[in-house]
C-alpha cells in the first residue's frame, strides 16, 4: 500500500473536508483527532459519518499534546507527509482558559514536528491564521509584512508556530509551510463562527448575538477553495529543498462585511434575523483581507467561490432535516 498522508484535526471542520478531498484524489489517509469538547462532539461525529465514513476513512482518537499517545497511535503506520490542522481555534476563550491554546497550539505543534523528525518525515504543512496580522494598518495583508502584531492570544500562538518551525527543522531534511487561513466557512462548519450562528439562528428563530455593528470586513473563504489550496500547497512543498519554510495566505482577497453576509443568508432563507447587538470582542480584528499574490504564484490563479454561492451551500446543508433539528443546540455548546 502506498504511504499515507497524516491529517491531524480530521474530526474538525477543515480537517474532515481535507481528508475527504485527499481520499477522493486517491491518497491513503491516516486521520487523528482528540475530539476536543470546545464545541459539540456530536457535530464532529456526524461530520465524520457524512464526510469520511462513506469513503472508508476512520479517525483515531489521539491527543497530540501527549507525545506517548501520539507515538502509540502512529507506531504501525506508514506515513510520508503531514498536514497538521489540529488546534484550539477561535479567539474568544477567556484568559483563564488560555492554557487550552498552549496545549493544543504549542505543545501539540511541537510534538507533531518532533514525531515527524524522529520518523523520517520530510514535509509538514500546518495551519496558521489571518489572526497573526492583528489590526495591521495596511491592507491587503501580505506575507512580506515584517512587523505584524496579533491582538488575540490565539493569533499569538499561531505566529509563535510560524517562528518555531524554521528552528525545529534546522539541520534536518524536513521542509514546512504555514497556511494563513482567512475565515473559512461551509457545510459541516464550526458553531463558534458567525456565519454558522447566523444560519442556525435564522432557522431556529433565536436572536443572533452580533458583536459590533456588522461593518467588520472578512475575507470569507469557502471551504472547498481552502481545501484545494491546502492540497496544492502541500504538493508544491514537495519540490522544495530541506529546511525550507514559508507562510502563505490562502484567502481570496475579496473581503465582505458581516452585514452583507447576514443580508445574503436572510434573502436566501426569506427570513429576517433578530439581532442582540453588543460591543465588539476585544480580540476581534477590524478586518481581514488577504494579498493572494503569493498563493496565485505558487498554485495558479483561481477565482474564489462568491459568498452568495458558498452561503447557498451552507443554507442548503443547514436546512437538511438531520442538521436543522440539531444545529441550534450545537451553537449552545461553544463560547
Ligand X SMILES: NC(=O)c1ccc[n+]([C@@H]2O[C@H](COP(=O)([O-])OP(=O)(O)OC[C@H]3O[C@@H](n4cnc5c(N)ncnc54)[C@H](O)[C@@H]3O)[C@@H](O)[C@H]2O)c1
The catalytic residue positions are 154
Question: Nearest to residue 219, comparing CAs of 140, 317, 314?
Answer: 140
> Pick from 30, 87, 261, 327: which binds ligand X (CB under 6 A)?
87
Question: Nearest to residue 153, comparing CAs of 193, 93, 64?
Answer: 93
Smallest distance, Å, CB 272 to ligand X? 26
Rounded Cα distance between 269 and 204, Å, is: 12
Chain residue whose CB lies nearest ligand X? 12
> Pick from 7, 31, 51, 64: which binds ligand X (CB under 6 A)?
64
Residue 175 interacts with ligand X (CB under 6 A)? no
Residue 82 interacts with ligand X (CB under 6 A)? no
Residue 203 interacts with ligand X (CB under 6 A)? no
> Pick from 160, 184, 210, 323: which binds ligand X (CB under 6 A)?
184
Residue 186 interacts with ligand X (CB under 6 A)? no
Residue 190 interacts with ligand X (CB under 6 A)? yes
Residue 89 interacts with ligand X (CB under 6 A)? yes
Give the DSSP letter of residue 138: S
**How many other CB atoms sit within 10 Å of the CB of residue 142?**
16
Residue 85 interacts with ligand X (CB under 6 A)? yes
31 within 8 A of 56, measured Cβ to Cβ: no
Length of the chain: 335
* Grid coordinates belonging to 233: 500547497
Cα 160 from chain centroid? 17
- Provide the angle, in degrees to the nearest 10, between the axes of the packed helices 108-118 and 153-169: 20
Smallest distance, Å, CB 274 to ligand X? 25
Compute the CA torsion angle 147, 152, 157, 163 (nearest 10 deg): 0
List binders of ligand X among 106-135 (CB under 6 A). 108, 127, 129
Which is nearer to ligand X, 164 or 243 (by Cβ)?
164
Tell me the window of 9-17, 113-121, 273-281, 286-294 that interacts with ligand X (CB under 6 A).
9-17
Residue 74 interacts with ligand X (CB under 6 A)? no
Tell me the window of 19-27, 85-93, 142-150, 205-213 that interacts with ligand X (CB under 6 A).
85-93
List binders of ligand X among 30-49 (CB under 6 A). 33-36, 44
- Helices and strands counted in the chain (H then E): 13, 13
Which is nearer to ligand X, 201 or 226 (by Cβ)?
226
Helix H or strand E segment including 227: helix 223-237
Give one word for 235, left, alpha or beta, with left for phi > 0 and alpha for psi -120 to 50: alpha
Question: Nearest to residue 37, comparing CAs of 123, 119, 104?
Answer: 104
Tell me the window of 183-191, 207-215, 255-263, 322-330 that interacts with ligand X (CB under 6 A).
183-191
List binders of ligand X among 241-260 (CB under 6 A). none
Using the Cα atoms of residue 30, residue 33, residue 34 and residue 35 in order, give the sign of their dihedral: negative
Binding region for ligand X (CB under 6 A): 8-9, 11-15, 33-36, 44, 63-65, 85-89, 104, 108, 127, 129, 181, 183-184, 190
Amino acid at each position: 500500500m502506498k504511504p499515507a498522508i497524516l491529517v491531524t484535526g480530521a474530526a474538525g471542520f477543515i480537517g474532515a473536508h481535507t481528508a475527504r478531498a485527499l481520499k477522493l484524489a486517491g491518497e491513503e489517509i491516516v486521520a487523528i483527532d482528540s475530539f476536543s469538547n470546545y464545541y459539540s462532539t456530536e457535530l464532529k461525529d456526524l461530520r465524520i459519518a457524512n464526510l469520511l465514513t462513506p469513503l472508508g476513512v476512520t479517525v483515531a482518537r489521539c491527543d497530540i499534546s501527549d507525545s506517548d499517545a501520539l507515538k502509540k497511535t502512529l507506531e504501525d503506520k506508514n506515513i510520508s507527509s503531514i498536514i497538521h490542522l489540529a488546534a484550539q481555534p477561535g479567539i474568544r476563550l477567556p484568559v483563564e482558559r488560555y492554557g487550552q491554546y498552549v496545549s493544543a497550539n504549542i505543545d501539540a505543534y511541537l510534538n507533531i514536528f518532533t514525531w515527524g523528525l524522529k520518523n523520517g518525515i520530510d514535509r509538514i504543512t500546518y495551519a496558521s491564521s489571518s489572526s497573526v496580522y492583528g489590526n495591521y494598518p495596511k491592507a491587503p495583508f501580505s506575507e512580506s509584512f515584517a512587523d505584524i502584531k496579533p491582538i488575540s492570544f490565539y493569533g499569538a500562538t499561531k505566529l509563535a508556530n510560524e517562528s518555531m518551525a524554521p528552528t525545529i527543522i534546522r539541520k534536518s531534511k524536513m521542509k514546512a509551510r504555514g497556511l494563513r487561513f482567512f475565515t473559512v466557512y461551509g457545510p459541516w462548519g464550526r458553531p463558534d463562527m458567525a456565519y454558522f450562528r447566523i444560519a442556525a439562528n435564522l432557522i431556529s428563530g433565536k436572536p443572533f448575538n452580533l458583536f459590533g455593528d456588522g461593518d467588520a470586513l472578512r475575507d470569507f473563504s469557502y471551504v472547498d477553495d481552502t481545501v484545494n489550496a491546502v492540497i496544492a500547497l502541500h504538493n508544491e512543498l514537495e519540490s522544495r529543498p530541506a529546511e525550507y519554510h514559508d507562510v502563505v495566505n490562502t484567502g481570496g482577497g475579496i473581503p465582505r462585511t458581516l452585514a452583507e453576509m447576514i443580508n445574503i443568508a436572510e434573502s436566501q432563507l426569506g427570513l429576517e434575523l433578530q439581532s442582540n447587538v453588543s460591543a465588539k470582542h476585544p480580540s476581534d480584528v477590524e478586518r481581514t483581507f488577504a494579498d493572494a499574490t503569493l498563493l496565485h504564484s505558487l498554485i495558479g490563479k483561481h477565482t474564489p467561490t462568491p459568498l452568495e454561492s458558498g452561503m447557498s451551500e451552507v443554507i442548503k446543508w443547514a436546512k437538511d432535516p438531520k442538521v436543522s433539528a440539531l444545529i441550534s443546540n450545537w451553537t449552545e455548546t461553544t463560547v
